[in-house]
Homo-oligomer: A and B are copies of this chain.
């Protein structure tokens, strides 16, 4: 999904509000919201992909004007409603006001996961190109490297593909790779000595 969460390289967001140290939770409700996500994800057996996608589906204006723990609360409530633990009207009645949830999944459900990839197709040093695609569902392939060529610098373990697990009970397992891109090739801005490393599943890549 080409969603609002896919932020790498987008412009106009201004300065980083950096603080060298800060409380773990700024408000007590943040801690409770975080814990409630753990409760809901456990109760509905949400995969990591399904959890992340429930945040990505937030109304984009809401996503940008709310912090991380409001994202988590929205995800917890959305998953709770989608899995039938509670209803949206129960939430609004209990909250005494609006309780915005994330938008619907726009990708079709995945019934067939397709075959696992048991062995890495690529090795360290191989040139690869990221697929130039626009999947409508959850993916961990950031937009800013799509279509770009890079070099494998590390082969990691074999992991469940998020694009599959976010959309049903089927699972597919594939190796992931850390792929190095020259920032100047990604952004075409002549910067020097900057390497971007993105961790990508096997099916995101093609030989280059």
Task: Tell me the number of copies of this protein.
Answer: 2
Question: How far apart are the CA atoms of A65 and B136 in the complex, in Å?
Answer: 24
Q: Which residues of B contact A106 (CB under 8 A)?
A: 11-12
Question: How far apart are the CA atoms of A56 and B133 in the complex, in Å?
Answer: 26
Q: Which residues of B contact A18 (CB under 8 A)?
A: none
Interface size on A (CB < 8 Å)? Answer: 28
Given A61-B65, A134-B187, also A3-B9 (CB < 8 A): no
Residue of chain B at shortest CB distance from A134: B187
Q: Can you sample 25 A-B contacts with CB below 8 Å?
A: A1-B11, A2-B9, A2-B10, A2-B11, A3-B10, A4-B10, A4-B12, A9-B134, A10-B60, A12-B56, A12-B57, A12-B60, A12-B103, A12-B106, A13-B59, A13-B60, A14-B59, A14-B103, A61-B61, A61-B64, A64-B65, A65-B65, A132-B147, A134-B189, A136-B189
Q: Which residues of chain A (102-158) have a CB below 8 Å from chain B? A: 103, 106, 132-134, 136, 147
Q: Which residues of chain A (49-69) have a CB below 8 Å from chain B? A: 56-61, 64-65
Contact: B188 with A11, CB < 8 Å?
no
B-facing mask of A20-64, CB < 8 A → 1, else 0? 000000000000000000000000000000000000111111001
Given A59-B12, A61-B65, also A188-B132 (CB < 8 A): yes
Question: How far apart are the CA atoms of A103 and B147 in the complex, in Å?
Answer: 31
Minimum CB–CB distance for A44 against chain B, Å: 22
Interface residues of A, dominant DSSP: loop
Question: How far apart are the CA atoms of A122 and B3 in the complex, in Å?
Answer: 35
Q: Which residues of B contact A58 (CB under 8 A)?
A: 12
Add 16 more A-B contacts to A2-B10, A64-B65 (CB < 8 A): A1-B11, A1-B12, A2-B9, A2-B11, A3-B10, A3-B12, A4-B10, A4-B12, A10-B60, A11-B106, A12-B56, A12-B106, A61-B65, A64-B64, A132-B188, A134-B187
Q: Which residues of chain A (146-190) have a CB below 8 Å from chain B? A: 147, 187-189
